[in-house]
Chains A and B, each alone.
Chain A
């Protein structure tokens, strides 16, 4: 059951320290209540919920360890971001970027880190810095294109 990234002690420890880990088996010929409730259409599907059960982050398909850990940090950051706790979310977005810079979730973390910085400080330079970071480190990502309007903000 604990194969792939789940077989790694660091992943297991992280999941137990930072989350309540839940595994839900899917049956395609008779979809279960959790499958219908969360509109699961393919496996593996991974969700991060806040302690009240509200979904904040979702990713689909196998992910190796580095990508998984990045998604887990991003999920935690998005719980805070979605709750308008922007200053608290920033260090978690930065954790994605410093510990897992090559992960697939990193460009989204860089974008949202900029938005969280702007929302917490009201300084538009935070958005420009996000654009600069995305174009420097993740120029091919969609998130770099999403940040393109911020290129006009002077530093």
Chain B
């Protein structure tokens, strides 16, 4: 594992979660 591959579309992640049964970890960030 070289790094985290982030999903940026919550709805896409939700579809994957429903398919896989995995929970979602969501990080709201600000590039200030």
Contacts and interface: CB of A to CB of B under 8 A. Distances in A.
Interface of A: 1-2, 6-7, 9, 11-13, 15-16, 18-28, 34-35, 38, 40, 43-53, 56, 72, 75-76, 79
A21 B26 CA distance: 6
A15 B31 CA distance: 22
B26 A6 contact: no
Interface residues of B, number: 27
Interface string B9-32: 110011011101111111111110
Interface of B: 1-10, 13-14, 16-18, 20-31
A24 B10 contact: yes
B13 to A, nearest CB: 5
Q: Is the interface of A mostly helix, strand, loop or mixed?
A: mixed
Contact of A19 (B10, B22, B31): B22
Contacts of B28: 24-26, 34-35, 38, 40, 43-47
Nearest to A41: B28
B26 A46 contact: yes
